[in-house]
């Protein structure tokens, strides 16, 4: 058994070395530094400059408090007023700058090669926040009409890559979008809530019953989409629902421009 494990490690090292020789790539941030496959998608300088979301933050929805860096984690006003249905939500970084541009290029420009660098950020964020104990990953689904228009579901691609990195199963067709919704970026908060109401359903409740699941999307804007997903999953019997996104929109943060998400789900 040990010999077989050692052989696997050797094969992985050999494969990584071949990829380094064949596919060196530029940093996803500055696009100047060349990286080898095993170095990931971002150079050290760009990783350090990313607007990572760290404590202090709301332990429920994960919104950071950048204006009070010396305070501890505490509940935000939204969670105190009307708690979300999900048990925990986290985002890797603030939706701004290079990160915003890469998500936008993936989502609306079909630049699928940005998936691995974006997943790098999720993995690093989970290492800091502590990955929740979950049985499977559920990507936020697109409506069939939107899927035909775009040709892919970015949340599904990100979920598949993350599942491979974490050795977690990714289940498609469990959480489904059963009706068309208008792009959330064009709506106010109350309109967003109405827009996604009853937009999702759980096709196979037995898959999530009494289990903990991780719902994955690209951007947390107001949380209405993830909250509605969590609501129907809890109704279907899910024990715990965690939500994870690459980025989070902060209206008061410079360059965290939600209008760049036009055409979103």
Going residue by residue through the chain, which has 265 residues, state the pLDDT in tens, using 9 for 90 and above.
Answer: 434 444 555 545 444 444 444 467 889 999 888 777 666 789 999 999 999 999 999 999 999 999 888 899 999 999 999 889 999 999 999 999 999 999 999 999 999 999 999 999 999 999 887 767 899 999 999 988 888 889 999 999 999 999 999 999 999 999 998 865 655 556 555 555 555 677 899 999 999 999 999 999 999 998 999 999 999 999 999 999 999 999 999 988 887 765 555 444 5
The answer to whether 46 and 27 are in contact (CB under 8 A) is yes
**Per-domain boundaries in the chain:** 1-49, 52-261
pLDDT at site 16: 44
Alpha-carbon distances of 106 from 75, 157, 218, 242, rounded to whole Å: 33, 10, 10, 24
The answer to whether 137 and 163 are in contact (CB under 8 A) is yes
Confidence (pTM): 0.84
The phi, psi pair for 217, rounded to 5°, reads: -140, 175
Alpha-carbon distances of 117 from 31, 65, 114, 123, 258, rounded to whole Å: 12, 26, 6, 10, 22
Measured distance CA(90)–CA(14) in Å, rounded: 35
Q: What angle do CA 122, 140, 241 make, to 5 degrees?
A: 75
Around Cβ 29, how many Cβ atoms within 10 Å? 21
CATH 3.40.50.2020 fits 52-261, yes or no: yes
pLDDT at site 14: 42
pLDDT at site 15: 47
pLDDT at site 225: 92
Q: Is 172 helix (H, G, I), strand (E, B) or coil?
A: coil
Cα four-point dihedral sign 96, 98, 99, 100: positive
Measured distance CA(228)–CA(230) in Å, rounded: 5
pLDDT at site 146: 83
pLDDT at site 18: 43
The answer to whether 112 and 106 are in contact (CB under 8 A) is yes
């Amino acid at each position: 058994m040990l010999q077989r494990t050692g052989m696997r490690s050797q094969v992985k090292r050999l494969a990584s070395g071949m990829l380094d020789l064949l596919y060196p790539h530029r940093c996803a941030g500055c696009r100047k530094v060349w990286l080898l496959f095993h170095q990931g998608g971002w150079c050290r300088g760009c990783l350090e400059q990313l607007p990572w979301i760290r404590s202090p933050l709301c332990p429920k929805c994960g919104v950071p408090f950048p204006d009070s860096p010396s305070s501890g984690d505490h509940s935000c006003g939204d969670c105190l007023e009307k708690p979300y249905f999900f048990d925990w939500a986290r985002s890797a970084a603030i939706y701004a700058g290079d990160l915003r541009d890469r998500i936008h290029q993936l989502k609306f420009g079909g630049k699928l090669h940005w998936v691995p660098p974006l997943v790098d950020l999720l993995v690093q964020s989970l290492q800091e926040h502590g990955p929740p104990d979950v049985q499977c990953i559920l990507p936020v689904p697109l409506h069939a009409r939107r899927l035909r228009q775009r040709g892919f579901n970015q949340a599904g691609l990100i979920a598949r890559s993350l599942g491979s990195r974490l050795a977690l199963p990714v289940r498609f067709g469990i959480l489904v979008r059963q009706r068309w919704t208008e792009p959330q970026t064009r709506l106010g908060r109350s309109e967003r809530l109405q827009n996604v109401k009853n937009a999702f359903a759980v096709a196979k409740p037995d898959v999530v019953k009494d289990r903990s699941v991780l719902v994955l999307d690209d951007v947390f804007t107001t949380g209405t989409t993830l909250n509605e997903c969590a609501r129907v999953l809890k109704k279907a019997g899910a024990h715990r629902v965690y939500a994870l996104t690459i980025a989070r929109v902060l209206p008061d943060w410079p360059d965290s421009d939600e209008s760049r998400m036009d055409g979103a789900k």
